[in-house]
Structure 1
Amino acid sequence: MARIKPKRHGVALDMTAMCDVTFLLLTFFITTTQFKKPDVAQIKPPSSISEKLLPDASLMTVSVTSDGVFYFQPVENGSERMQLLDKMGAKYKMSFTNPEKVAFAKIEAVVVPMGQLKSFLNLPEQQRKAYKSKEGVPMDSTNKQLIDWVQQSLAVNPNYKLAIKGDVTTKYPKVKTLFEGLRDIDFLKFWLITSQETKTN
């Protein structure tokens, strides 16, 4: 006598829980991701095989373009940025209004000499973001404003770290002047930002 096969019932999966988990993970990654800071200038750093990562917090950055123009990016802490502006103002005998301090807390980088900083901070926000300076922050044997920015930043918080991002075509004498200025204030430990080079066997 033939065996009677039981009827097969289709399996129903409830995907509601899986969708909930997916959206929770997506929300988590969006809210915790640290986005890359916008570059103040087009800089192509030299390549290296170093795999060391830059510290995430308390990092100041000096950018050097191919033309040897310097830009200074302070640490992204609004209240400490305002303290830094007060210290630079005291050093250069300048005073800044509260709206100028708020604007300074939001800028991507210092791209002008101290003499032009007040007018730069009074520009509308969109104009400040689009502003391209051919002078940058002075850094030579007679005018070391860039070193003053670093020194006064360290006066605000001695635990700040410094990274230098130079273009692969930047002339060495420009970078050497920066290194000598950092040596003069006894600040000898910093990172050089490079692009990743693949190792060859």
Structure 2
Amino acid sequence: MARVKPKRHGVITDMTAMCDVAFLLLTFFILTTQFKKPDVEQIKPPSSISEKLLPDASLMTINATPDGKFYFQPVDNASERVALLDKMGQRYGITFDNNQKAAFRKIQAIGVPMNKLKGFLDMSEDEQKNYKSPTGIPMDSTNKQLIDWVKESLSVNPEYKLAIKGDVTTEYPKVKSLFEGLRDIDFLKFWLITSQEGKPNE
């Protein structure tokens, strides 16, 4: 005698709760993610297999372009940025007004000599983003303004860390003066920014 097959019932899964959770997670990540600021000039760093990550806080950055121009990116702390600007102004005998200090709080990177910084800060934000410095910050044996930016930053907060991002085509003699300047102020520990490369097959 044939067995009676039980009637099959379709399984209905309520996905409402999962959709709510996915939407909440998506919203959380969008609101809390810090987007990387674009470089002031196109820089392609050399590749490496290092997996070490840069610290998120208290990090100042030096960018070296293929033609050897230097840009300095201060730490993202508004009050400490103003203190840094005041110290650089005292060193070079320059006074900055409140509007220029407000612009410096929001600036992405500095790529002009000190004698042109006031004019750069007086530009609109769009003009600053589109401005391509012909010289960058001076850094050679006779003019070490870039080292002064690092030195005065450390006088604002000795806990600052430094990362250097150079283009893969930047020639070593262009950055040799930077390394020598950092050595002269006894600042010997810093990161070199590289792009991730796959590990070689063993």
- Give the TM-score band, short-chain normalised: over 0.9
Secondary structure of the 2:148 match is helix
Q: Does residue 1:100 correspond to 2:100, yes or no?
A: yes
In the aligned structure 2, how far is the partner of 1:166 from the partner of 1:63? Answer: 6
Q: Compute the displacement of 1:5 (Å).
A: 5.8
User: Does residue 1:71 correspond to 2:71, yes or no?
Assistant: yes
Kindly provide the amino acid, as one letter, of the partner of residue 185 in structure 1: I
Question: Does the residue aligned with 2:95 lie in a helix, a strand or coil?
Answer: coil
Superposed counterparts of 1:2-41, under 5 Å: 7-41=7-41
Distance in 2, matches of 1:175 and 1:116, equals 23
Q: Secondary structure at the match of 2:72?
A: strand
How far apart in 2 are the matches of 1:8 and 1:180?
A: 79
> Are 1:139 and 2:142 counterparts?
no
User: Which stretch of structure 1 is more off in the superposition, 28-37 or 109-118?
Assistant: 28-37
| Amino acid across the alignment from 1:67 | D
Structure 1 SS opposite 2:120: helix
Q: Retained in 2: the 8 A contact 1:74–1:109? A: yes
Decide whether the 8 Å contact of 1:165 with 1:194 is kept in 2: yes
Distance of aligned partners of 1:3 and 1:31 in 2 relative to their CA distance in 1, 3 Å threshold = same
Question: Which aligned segments of 4 or more residues in structure 1 are displaced greater than 4 angstroms?
Answer: 1-9
TM-score (norm 2): 0.93
Spell out, residue by residue over 1:87-121, the C-alpha distance to the aligned partner (whole angstroms, 9 max, x if none). Answer: 10111111111111110011110011100000100
Q: Which amino acid aligns with 2:45?
A: P
User: What is the root-mean-square deviation in Å for CA atoms of aligned residues?
Assistant: 1.6
The Cα offsets for residues 3-29 of structure 1, whole Å up to 9 and x where unpaired, read as 766654444332221111111111111
Instruction: Find the counterpart in structure 2 of residue 62 from structure 1.
Output: 62
TM-score, normalization by structure 1: 0.94
Structure 1: distance between partners of 2:5 and 2:170:
81
Which residue identity is paired with 2:60?
M
Q: Distance in 1 between matches of 2:97 and 2:128?
A: 17
Aligned equivalents of 2:171 and 2:115: distance in 1? 26
Summarize the Cα distance change of 1:169–1:16 in structure 2 as closer, same or farther, 3 Å threshold: same
Counterpart code for 2:135: E
Deviation at 1:187, TM superposition (A): 0.5
Task: State the SS of the aligned residue for 2:198.
Answer: coil
C-alpha separation between the residues in 2 aligned to 1:13 and 1:46? 50
User: Residue 177 of structure 1 corresponds to which residue in structure 2?
Assistant: 177
